[in-house]
Amino acid sequence: MATLITGIGELTTNDDERGRMRDAAVVVDGDVIAWVGEASAAPAADERVDVDGRAVLPGWVDSHTHLVFAGDRTAEFEARMAGEAYAAGGIGVTVGATRAATDDELTANLDRLADELLRGGTTAFETKTGYGLTVADELRSARIAATRADSVTFLGAHLVPQDWAERGGPDAYVDLVTGEMLAAVAPHVEAIDVFCERGAFDEAQSRRVLEAGRAAGLALRVHGNQLGPGPGVRLAVELGAASVDHVAFIDDEEVRMLAETWHGGTGTVATVLPACDLSTRMPLAPARRLVDAGAVIAIATNCNPGTSYTTSMAFCVATAVLQMGLTVEEAVRAATLGGAVALGLDGDESAAAPVRAAGSGERGVPDPAASRAGRARLPLGRIRPGARADLQ
Ligand code: NIG
C-alpha cells in the first residue's frame, strides 16, 4: 500500500543534488521509498498523511551499542564525575553481573533499551557481545542480541577476564577468542570487534583477533584510539575494517589515512561517539577535521553501562553540532547514512551520498566485489524509485 506524505516542513534527502527540500512530498510503499519530489508533482497514492509542517528525515542508524548486559555502574560514574579516570577494568564489573543474569533478565534489559532507542527515532541499530567472555556466555549474548539488533558484532576481545591471569594470560585468552569462541559465535554475528587499547588488547593481539574474524567471513570493527594514542586506527585501515570507532586520539596522519581509505568505493568509516567522550571526560573526537579531510564518519550512541548510558541519537547529533563543529546537515547525515554505511545496511539502491565535506572528493562507486568481510561500501548516492530507507 502506497502512502503519500505531504505537509513536510523540510525534507532531508541525504542526496547531494536534492539536499534539504522544502515543498516536498514522499511516497512510501511498504518499507520502500517509491518517490520523492515537489509536492505539486506528487503522484496519487492509496492514502495520504499530512505531517503538518514537521521535518522528515531518514531514521537514525545507531552503529555502535553494547546492549546485552546486566548490572549497574552508577558508582563508577559518580567517582568519575568526582575526578577519577575511566579505566577499562570497569568492564569486569558488568561481566560478573552479566554472567550471573538469566537469559530472561538479559533479554528484558535489551528489550527495554531497544524500545527506548526506537522511540527516539532510531530505525536500525547494531549491538555487541562483550560482557560474557566465556564461550557459553558470548554465544548466549550473540543469540540474545540477534533477537533485536539489525547487526550483531562479536566482541569477545573486550577485556582479558580476570581469571585468565592464572590461565595463561592475554595471549592464551586470545587463543580462545580466535578459536573455540569465534567458531561458536560466528554463525550468529555479522562482524568481529576488538578493544585495541592499553589495558585491553595490544596491536599483535588485536591483529590476531581481526585476522581470525576475517577468515571466518566477518566484517571487521575496531575500538581504537579511545583513551589515548595507539595502533587502532592504523590497524583498522591496514586490515580494511568496516569501521574504527571512538577515534578521539588521532593525529593528522591518521585523519589522512582514514580519508584515503575511500578511494575505489570502499573504505573504513570513522565512528565518533560524542556521548561517550563527554561521559568519560575525554577529548571529543575530531569530527570536523575528519569531514574536512574527506573521511566518511558515523555518529552513534555507544549505549553501554560504563561509558555512555544513553540511547538518544538526537542528543549525540546535537552534541556533534554544538561541540564538535559539524553542521546540522553533516551530523544528520553521519547519524543516518554514515551508520548505515558502517553496518553495510545502505544497500545497492541506497538513498544518499557519503558523509563528506562538499567538494572534498569524488563520490565513489560501489565495489561489487566488496563482501560481508570487506570494507564498508559507498552507496550510489541517489534517491531513486525502489530506494530502501526509513522515515521517522
Ligand atoms: O565502547 N571501550 C570499550 N567498550 C565500551 C565501554 C565498555 C564499558 O566500560 O563497560 C566503549 O566505551
* The pLDDT value given to residue 30: 86
335 lines ligand 1 (CB under 6 A): no
Judge whether 246 is annotated as a binding position.
Answer: no
pTM: 0.89
60-343: same fold as 2-56?
no
Which of helix, strand or coil describes residue 226?
A: coil
The answer to whether the beta carbons of residues 287 and 321 sit under 8 Å apart is no
Cβ atoms 43, 35 nearer than 8 A:
yes
Count of CB atoms situated within 10 Å of the CB of 307? 27
Note the pLDDT of residue 377. Answer: 52
Pocket of ligand 1, candidates 158, 304, 310, 316: which has the most ligand atoms within 8 Å of its Cβ, to mutate? Answer: 304
Q: Which atom of ligand 1 lies nearest, measured to the CA of 308?
A: 12
The pLDDT tens digits for 196-212 are: 999 999 999 999 999 99
Please count the CA atoms within 13 angstroms of the CA of 153 that sit on its side-chain side: 34
- The C-alpha atoms of residue 337 and residue 168 are separated, in whole angstroms, by 43
Q: Is 66 annotated among the ligand-binding residues?
A: yes
Task: Output the pLDDT for position 391.
Answer: 36
- Identity at 138, one-letter amino acid code: E
Answer yes or no: is 225 a known binding residue.
no
Indicate which atom in ligand 1 lies nearest the CA of residue 73: 10
Measure 307 CA to ligand 1 centroid, in angstroms: 6
Contacts for 343 with CB less than 8 Å, ≥ 6 apart: 61, 63, 124, 126, 150, 151, 190, 242
CATH fit for domain 2-56, picks 1.20.1540.10, 1.20.140.10, 3.40.50.1100, 2.30.40.10: 2.30.40.10
CA 355, 359, 362, 363 dihedral sign is: positive
Kindly state which CATH superfamily the domain 60-343 is placed in: Metal-dependent hydrolases (3.20.20.140)
Question: Residues of the chain whose pLDDT is less than 70?
Answer: 264, 347-392
Structural contact between residues 34 and 10, judged by C-beta atoms closer than 8 angstroms: no
The per-residue pLDDT for range 237-294, each reduced to its tens digit, is: 999 999 999 999 999 999 999 999 997 678 999 999 999 999 999 999 999 999 999 9
pLDDT reported for residue 98? 98
The answer to whether 306 is a known ligand-binding residue is yes
Spatial separation of the C-alpha atoms in residues 183 and 312, rounded to whole Å: 34
Neighbours of 140 (CB within 10 A): 20
Confidence at residue 379, expressed as pLDDT on a 0 to 100 scale: 44
**pLDDT for the residue numbered 88:** 85
| Model ipTM value | 0.98
* Domains in the chain: boundaries: 2-56, 60-343
**DSSP string covering 44-103, please?**
P-SEEEE-TT-EE-BPEEE--------S--HHHHHHHHTTPPP-GGGHHHHHHHHHHS-H
